[in-house]
Structure 1
Amino acid sequence: MADRIKVAVIVAGGSGTRMGSATPKQFMEIGGKPLLYHTINAFLQAYDDMHIVLVVPETHQAYIATLLTAFDRPPSVALVHGGETRFHSVKNGLATIRQPAVLFVHDGVRPLLSPSLIRRCYESALAKGNAIPAVEMKDSLREVDDEGNMAVDRSRFRIIQTPQTFLSEVLLPAFEQPYDPLFTDEASVVERAGEEIHLVEGEEQNIKITRPVDLAIANAFLAGHGL
């Protein structure tokens, strides 16, 4: 599999609505640089031959030039327009793949992932066909239905993260399926296609930035690590 390329399909389709900002959240700054800079940079730090496919709404593409100037050496980035849903956005990104690859699909607003997590996903995907990072739940859970609610065993559940990582021959055919609203992530699409899903250990700091408090947490993390 040495001839496989490595491609990070980074989905950055969010807005600043919940942030109370006109600036899309993926372009807001943490640690003095755009949030999306940190996301892209983690992949470049993991592997120097990483290809970046950035999926963004057409209306956000004016931000990209500014984003790239944050890099000392601006990386080569393929820009792809987002779609109606995450499924369609990812499918648009996957349409750029022309040769056997290891594909990382990552939320653009998860900027705190480490290069070691990316490498862990890569190695596991090579061995098993896919690698989905997950962390244990720390909060208590209750299941709620029309009859009431009941406690459940949290040890049976995991919080799923990205980068969800796949061999191209696993992921590309799965995305030929018709869209289903139950496709909440790439693992659910691949599972529907009949593939077994393999979990790898995720990272507590690999949070999704959606609210102002998340930005504060990310800034504190970067400051604490000298980044």
Structure 2
Amino acid sequence: MQKIAIITAGGSGSRMGSLIPKQFLLLNQKPLLWYTISAFLEAFQDISIILVLPQDYMTAGAELVNELQINDQTTLVVGGSTRYHSVQNGIQQIKNPSVVFVHDGVRCLVTPNLIKRCFEQTIEKGSAIPAVTCTDSVRILNNDSHKAINRDQVKIIQTPQTFLSAILIPAFNQPYQEFFTDEATVVESLGQAVHLIEGEYNNLKVTRPADLLLANAILEERNK
């Protein structure tokens, strides 16, 4: 079955406090996106990449694709006003039955092992949503009050959120709703169950300057 990675990199990176979108910030002389795409290529050489970018960074995306020498297997798509619309723009490029990975472009430390495990579970169960157990104390707010809950029952959701295209495409044909914060919520809204898979604590999402420092430290440790 065809493998397709929709890599969402359409954000502006406002929380990073940089004029450059965070997906193009450098980590050891390479843009974050370079590491993200490379992980998928290492997992599956025959994978197709749909790269969702801001309009103003389409040229930069094309240059990165050219550097990686994957022009023939990559499609560049302009992002939408929300994550949902960006993913929807990417999904519109899918023509054949596929296993579809939807991945945050700034989760640049994702490993080929996690990608392969997501693929294998999706073939078996129809979906694979990476998740790790929360390690912080957690409280739920209820108006002016709050209460602690068992953190062992709280999962932190990651990407690549992976689905059979037959499940994902119909979900993204419905109108947008504000609670669509990720692909799992979109699919669940149609009554379709989603299946978790063990994620990786180092599969962090680089959104703030401290995240970039941590990502650099992890990358240095991997390269030793």
Same fold by TM-score greater than 0.5: yes
1:1-227 to 2 correspondence within 5 Å? 4-68=1-65, 70-71=67-68, 73-75=69-71, 76-226=73-223
SS of residue paired to 1:6: strand
Q: Within 2, Cα distance between the matches of 1:179 and 1:40?
A: 28
SS of residue paired to 1:92: helix
Q: Within 2, Cα distance between the matches of 1:59 and 1:21?
A: 15
Q: Within 2, Cα distance between the matches of 1:28 and 1:199?
A: 30
Q: Is the 8 Å Cα contact of residues 33 and 70 (structure 1) preserved in structure 2?
A: no
SS of residue paired to 2:214: helix
Q: How many residues align structurally? A: 223
What is the one-letter code of the residue matched to 1:21? S
Q: Within 2, Cα distance between the matches of 1:95 and 1:65?
A: 20
What is the one-letter code of the residue matched to 1:119? K
Show structure 2 runs of 5+ residues with no match.
none
Q: What is the TM-score of this pair, normalised by structure 1?
A: 0.95
Residues 147/64 of structure 1: CA separation in 2 closer, same or farther (3 Å cut): closer
Residues 69/97 of structure 1: CA separation in 2 closer, same or farther (3 Å cut): closer
Deviation at 1:18, TM superposition (A): 2.1
SS of residue paired to 1:196: coil
Q: Is the 8 Å Cα contact of residues 8 and 105 (structure 1) preserved in structure 2?
A: yes
SS of residue paired to 1:48: coil
What is the one-letter code of the residue matched to 1:60? Y
For residues 140-189 of structure 1, what are the alpha-carbon distances to aligned partners after superposition, in whole Å with 9 as ceiling and x for unaligned? 01111224111111111100000000001000011111110011100001
Q: Within 2, Cα distance between the matches of 1:115 and 1:101?
A: 18
Q: Is the 8 Å Cα contact of residues 37 and 70 (structure 1) preserved in structure 2?
A: no
Aligned CA RMSD, in angstroms, stands at 1.3
Deviation at 1:63, TM superposition (A): 1.4
What is the one-letter code of the residue matched to 1:19? M
Greater shift in the superposed pair: 138-147 or 160-169: 138-147
Deviation at 1:74, TM superposition (A): 4.1
For residues 108-164 of structure 1, what are the alpha-carbon distances to aligned partners after superposition, in whole Å with 9 as ceiling and x for unaligned? 010000000000000000000011000000000111122411111111110000000
Deviation at 1:201, TM superposition (A): 0.3
Q: Within 1, Cα distance between the matches of 2:178 and 2:105?
A: 21
Q: What is the TM-score of this pair, normalised by structure 2?
A: 0.96
Residues 154/188 of structure 1: CA separation in 2 closer, same or farther (3 Å cut): same
Q: Within 1, Cα distance between the matches of 2:62 and 2:196?
A: 36
Deviation at 1:31, TM superposition (A): 2.0
Q: Percent identity?
A: 52
